[in-house]
Structure 1
Amino acid sequence: MAFIPAATSTSTTADTGRSHFAFLAMTSLFFIWGFVTALNDILIPHLKAAFALSYTQAMLVQLCFFGAYFLLSPLAGRLIERIGFLGGILAGLVTLASGCLLFYPAAELATYPLFLTALFVLAGGVTLLQVSANPYVAALGSARTAASRLSLAQAVNSLGHTLAPLFGAALIFAAAQSDAKAVQLPYLLLAGFCLLVTVIFARLKLPVLQSEPTNVTRTTSDQPQRLPLPFYGAVAAIFLYVGAEVSIGSFLINYLALPELGAFNEQTASTWVSYYWGGAMLGRFAGAVITRYINALLVLALYAVVAIALLLLTMSQTGMLAAVAVISIGFFNSIMFPTIFTHGIAGLGNLTSRGSGLLCQAIVGGALVPLMQGVAADSIGVQHSFIVPLLAYVYIAGFAGWHWRQSRVSV
């Protein structure tokens, strides 16, 4: 993959300064979609209680939210090919705000299907932001340090994940009403914030980046270019990583409420959810440094193995040991997305936006893996249902280990 400023390919001090400013601006978007995504972990138990849902029904929240990635990411990739990364960012922010605003009538009418519709629209905006911002950040500098740069941006994303459960606990679980209307104020505030950020981004003078297809084998004019076969291994890894991370976060409150885990109330459990995402934030700041000196694929393989070990403790132990084990997985999730994503789009050239769209489409794992764990929880119990994300980490460990060995052979 190679990206150059639209106006010139010459690197200057001014260009470097603009790139640094653009990176800082992009991190605000990572914060927003991290915040919105983690708020689902609070929304799920609240709606489960408000509408007397089963675990499987409650996981429809994640199915609708992350299902939008699967349905809309290819369209988002093609839209961005036409309107550019910055146009995609503006469209994403407006769509996200629209989804937040739909929460008001959904709560007023107390209709679960309308909540799911609002989540789908909201997630459509997040999809546009993901497809636009991830390759944009990866392109703002050397390809060698792309994983490190994206890890740093993802650390800000994790800050949003960390603060959202505290925000949700304060405005949803602590609200005077315990029904669906408790979500109206939080999502109205989010809608207003997204519209404010839209206005700010519309006025910013950010570098316009375009793809330079230097690493793509050209085909004849009547044959469409195709993404390389190994790319789809990265698609599967993104699917399983996001599915595992989201599934664990979605079940934390109900898991920590189990009598053998300490029977935490919802507000206390929400604080522990913030620890889970806070661990990912710390891990990403650390990962931004670590992956500059140690092969990112090797770090990915080691972290996946540790996540497997922690899930075995989560499933077999009780009390504080089990609680700390499951919360600690957040730290080891930290570098997974940026490492898999940057490895996947490396060398795609003018197919980068399309590849980015497919990788973001794979985020549908966040819809399907929690649903599978929901089915498992209804049949074998919440604690043993963590076998579902455990199997996802087994694939990730194998994927990372194989590609790390291949990279050593190629050197």
Structure 2
Amino acid sequence: MQQRNKYLFPFILVTSLFFLWAFLHNINPILIPHLKKACQLTDTESALIDSSVYLGYFLVALPAGWFMHRFGYKKGVMAGLLLYGIGAALFLPAADSRSFTLFLVALFIIASGATFLETVANPYITKLGNPDTATQRLNFAQSFNGVGAFIAPIIGGRFILSGIEHSPEELSRMDAAGTLNSYLQTEASAIRLPYLVIAVLVLLLAALFFFTRLPEGEGKEEKGAGGFSFRVLRHAQVRWGVVAQFFYVGAQVCVGSFFIRFAKHVMNMPEKDAAFYWGSIAMVGFMLGRFTGTFFMKYLKPERLLALYAVICMALLAVASFVPGAVAVYAVMAVPFFMSIMFPTIFALGIQGLGEEGKIASSLIVMSIVGGAFFPLIMGWISDATGGNIQVAYIIPLLCFVVILFFALRQKAVAPQGSEKLVLTH
């Protein structure tokens, strides 16, 4: 009981961090159409919003892992929260100047902070309790990531999106009348207050962590532990985990980031309505999927559930890519429920049983999140190349889920006596 109490408050506090990177990722479906409008971007240019976030993960994951390895979990959290808060504060001058470049820099800094938080929180959660239930515990913590996932688009739709959608002809007339810049500045300025609130809340959370004592030894190097090196890739579970996470995050970002554009293209749905439906239906489904997935894993091996959900996602995206009208929109909104378990399951399978080496493995798997910077650019390019047909571009996440299915089917859970390590078959 005493051991359980030792872990309870740290578990609650660290779980709160899952909300922050969920908010970062799930506000992008709002920022993409909003900044596309305010900064007058093409679909490919607007995809750079995702690229700046996921390049942040790619470039900062290894330094974050080294920092955690050297200084421990608590200081890693503090560094992440400070970067996150600074990046959010930079949205104010970015909005004032309507500088898309400064928006991208701010997002990169926020993502750098989120990388620290995610690199710390995922392995730390797996250590806060019985190793036998590490996967279920990580899925449970990631369920609160789902709370951020559905709140972000609802808040963004309410406080950022104006609902004003002018046609190219109307914008040309406004330009000729000299009112275009004033309209665009009003759109850009809508982003100021939400990000000011985010910056203040994140810095307050940093203060809370500063004054909280985490369990001793949890962030310190274990005796006899191996050094921080790429030798961890000798484990097949880590190599395949990196590949699978690259394609999974690419798929997740593609599905959500262009949904507002997709709904407008397929059934002429207004942007505020699309944002509300994405948050209140798709992302609520994502959150519920995390809770139900944790429950299903009591009766079904994680890799089998992963394979089943990958097949369902592929079927739904086939409908989304080739069926016209509202059915396609409903199919996309159903996908998050089934992809909800994928990130934590791939992550937990990739680091399970590695001990101190789990820190560098965590960094490499987080680093593979760069898939989210790569695949949306392909979708944007396909849309621009086909005259704005974003629907056909949804074939890209479908292909990503093929790789997830392959990953799941190649896995075989092996629990040798005295070890909970998962081994991947070759």
- TM-score normalised by L of structure 2: 0.88
Task: Report the AA paired with residue 253 of structure 1.
Answer: I
CA-CA distance at 1:293 after TM superposition: 2.3
CA-CA distance at 1:180 after TM superposition: 1.2
8 A Cα contact 1:215 1:349, kept in partner: no
Task: Report the AA paired with residue 79 of structure 2.
Answer: A
Instruction: Report the aligned-residue RMSD.
Output: 2.2
8 A Cα contact 2:115 2:366, kept in partner: yes
Task: Report the AA paired with residue 356 of structure 1.
Answer: S
Moved more, 377-386 or 333-342: 377-386
2:296 is aligned with 1:290: yes
Pick closer, same or farther for the CA change 1:199–1:378 going to 2, 3 Å: same
Pick closer, same or farther for the CA change 1:214–1:79 going to 2, 3 Å: closer
String of CA shifts for 1:240-270, please: whole Å, max 9, x gaps: 1111001110010000001xx3211110000
CA-CA distance at 1:145 after TM superposition: 1.4
Alpha-carbon separation, structure 2, partners of 1:348 and 1:213: 12
Pick closer, same or farther for the CA change 1:81–1:288 going to 2, 3 Å: same
Alpha-carbon separation, structure 2, partners of 1:178 and 1:164: 21
Indicate the residue corresponding to 2:166 in structure 1: none
CA-CA distance at 1:169 after TM superposition: 1.2
8 A Cα contact 2:69 2:221, kept in partner: no
Indicate the residue corresponding to 2:114 in structure 1: 126
2:206 is aligned with 1:198: yes
Indicate the residue corresponding to 1:6 in structure 2: none
* Secondary structure of 1:257 counterpart: helix
8 A Cα contact 1:211 1:352, kept in partner: no
Alpha-carbon separation, structure 2, partners of 1:409 and 1:188: 46
8 A Cα contact 1:135 1:356, kept in partner: yes
* Secondary structure of 1:179 counterpart: helix
Indicate the residue corresponding to 2:139 in structure 1: 151
Alpha-carbon separation, structure 2, partners of 1:409 and 1:385: 35
* Secondary structure of 1:293 counterpart: coil
- TM-score normalised by L of structure 1: 0.91
Pick closer, same or farther for the CA change 1:215–1:154 going to 2, 3 Å: farther
The match for 1:234 among 241, 260, 263 is: 241
Alpha-carbon separation, structure 2, partners of 1:268 and 1:186: 19
Task: Report the AA paired with residue 266 of structure 1.
Answer: E
Please list, as runs of the form range in 1=range in 2, the aligned pairs for 1:42-61 lying within 5 A after superposition. 42-61=30-49
CA-CA distance at 1:136 after TM superposition: 0.4
Pick closer, same or farther for the CA change 1:211–1:81 going to 2, 3 Å: same
Indicate the residue corresponding to 1:87 in structure 2: 75
Alpha-carbon separation, structure 1, partners of 2:230 and 2:324: 55
The match for 1:266 among 262, 267, 271 is: 271
String of CA shifts for 1:182-220, please: whole Å, max 9, x gaps: 11111001000101111111122221314776998x7xx
Moved more, 300-309 or 174-183: 174-183
CA-CA distance at 1:22 after TM superposition: 1.5
CA-CA distance at 1:229 after TM superposition: 4.4
Indicate the residue corresponding to 2:175 in structure 1: none
Moved more, 25-34 or 88-97: 25-34
8 A Cα contact 2:50 2:376, kept in partner: yes
Alpha-carbon separation, structure 2, partners of 1:171 and 1:95: 24
Unaligned stretches of 5+ in structure 1? 1-12
Q: Which runs of 4+ in 1 moved over 6 A?
A: 211-216, 405-411
Pick closer, same or farther for the CA change 1:410–1:235 going to 2, 3 Å: closer
Alpha-carbon separation, structure 2, partners of 1:182 and 1:254: 20
8 A Cα contact 1:227 1:351, kept in partner: no
The match for 2:4 among 2, 9, 16 is: 16
Moved more, 264-273 or 199-208: 199-208
Indicate the residue corresponding to 2:61 in structure 1: 73
8 A Cα contact 1:135 1:352, kept in partner: yes
8 A Cα contact 2:306 2:408, kept in partner: yes
Please list, as runs of the form range in 1=range in 2, the aligned pairs for 1:241-256 lying within 5 A after superposition. 241-256=248-263
Moved more, 312-321 or 174-183: 174-183
The match for 2:193 among 169, 173, 185 is: 185
CA-CA distance at 1:409 after TM superposition: 10
8 A Cα contact 1:255 1:382, kept in partner: yes
Please list, as runs of the form range in 1=range in 2, the aligned pairs for 1:2-401 lying within 5 A after superposition. 13-174=1-162, 178-208=186-216, 209-210=218-219, 225-230=231-236, 231-258=238-265, 261-274=266-279, 275-380=281-386, 381-401=389-409
Alpha-carbon separation, structure 2, partners of 1:180 and 1:350: 45
String of CA shifts for 1:382-409, please: whole Å, max 9, x gaps: 1110111111100100110110477899
* Secondary structure of 1:318 counterpart: coil
Task: Report the AA paired with residue 334 of structure 1.
Answer: S
8 A Cα contact 1:306 1:332, kept in partner: yes
